[in-house]
Amino acid sequence: MSPSRLTKSLLRKAMVSWRDEPTRYDIEALQANTERVGLVIRLRWVLVAVLAVFSLVGGWVYSLEVPPAELVDNMRIPALAIAFVVLYNTYYALTYRRLGNIAFLNHAQLLFDVIVVTVLVYYSGGVHSWFYAMYALFVLEAAFILPRVRDTLIVAGFCALGYGLVLWGEFFGVLPHVDMPFTEGDLHLSRTYVAVRYLWQVAVLCVTAVVATRMTAIVRDREKQLIGATIVDERTGLYDRKYFLRALTSELLRAERDERPLWVLMIDIDSFGRFNRLFGIPAGDRMIASVAEALVRALEECMLSRDSDTNVLARFGGEEFGFLLAEGCSGGPPSAEDALRIAEAVRSAVAELRLDEAGVTVSIGGASYPEHGPTADLVLSAADEALHTAATGGGNRIVLAGPES
């Protein structure tokens, strides 16, 4: 295997989700996972704050009956562990939007958490420590941000391993026991107690992993259902504005990654208010539905489907429609010629419409990424300006944004 192919193979395994040609839904899933990673990072700050407050208050309470020198000696290593948490969580907070979908980095931050808690467990009395409960928290985080069930089970196993190293290490004398105030110091030498305590923690971790992965799977299934729900305009059967904007954002990310253009066409029925006044609102509603059907037919004639994973036709509201052209008529990157061809097919199809002997025309404005802007807002703004030029120039026209739009 050549170095480039090997690198590509490693990258595929590293990503949470990765394909040669990821669809819009893949990209949306990656975006959602990145937001979940960000939430875990923010919650870790809360955890650090809670530990800091607990350490200060608990240290003050202990200092009432424990010599300060002994207290400081006990807390020195845990304090370094917390400082390590602050260090790596700062790194993740600064980079997660770019690196949040690299799977092994997500594994690493969870394993760092487990290591820190294991250190806290050891230096707070081992078998007597209360910090073991935090292992279950990290299993929940794993289920939340890691893509596969086995990943969560691996994190649960690592938690069990860390806890076991402390308990059994102390029992067999490999690790010196750290005495804590107000604890019975000989429990760590009781085989029965250590075994029962360890088995209980393993059982809790396993149950937590199973429940967490099941609950997270239900949440992710619900997310998919919500993505597919309430995205269709009732009157026309086309996608709605919100879905169009989400699709545009996702396709822009894909276009940026692949260094390819995409086009947006904005379509508006000319003088539609006058049509409504002359023929009535019910006739206007029927005309909007007829225009939508004409748009679909025009796209099919250009060998494009409104249900494509990449090309999206939507009703923006009222008498306005939008078309996202991410794949050209020949299947490659879309060109200005593709945009003009489709726009002309749409304009001609609508011009031929008749409803009770009445007809309408449309004005069309187009703009492209990256020529007319690097963001969805800028591309839409350029397309709107071109649409305004077409409409104010007499209507029944096509205008593509100029190079300086």
- Concatenated DSSP letters of 155-168: HHHHHHHHHHHHHH
Task: Give the model's pLDDT for residue 342.
Answer: 92
Quote the pTM value.
0.56
Task: Give the model's pLDDT for residue 72.
Answer: 79
Q: Write out the chain's pLDDT in tens, 405 residues.
A: 444 555 545 544 555 444 444 555 556 667 777 888 888 898 889 888 888 888 888 778 777 877 878 777 778 888 899 899 999 999 999 988 877 667 788 888 999 999 999 999 999 888 888 888 889 888 888 888 887 888 888 999 999 999 999 999 999 999 998 887 766 667 778 788 788 878 888 887 888 888 777 767 767 776 666 655 567 787 888 888 888 998 898 889 888 888 889 999 999 999 998 888 888 888 888 999 999 999 998 888 776 554 455 788 999 888 999 999 988 877 788 889 999 999 999 999 999 988 878 889 999 999 999 999 999 999 999 999 999 999 999 999 999 998 654
Residues 398 and 344: beta-carbon distance below 8 Å: yes
- List C-alpha distances in Å: 275 to 270, 360, 391, 395: 9, 8, 15, 14
For the four alpha carbons of 119, 120, 125 and 126, in that order, the dihedral sign comes to: negative
Instruction: Name the residue ranges covered by the structural domains of the chain.
Output: 3-228, 241-400
**Token pair for 155:** 């994190």
Domain 241-400 adopts which CATH fold? Alpha-Beta Plaits (3.30.70)
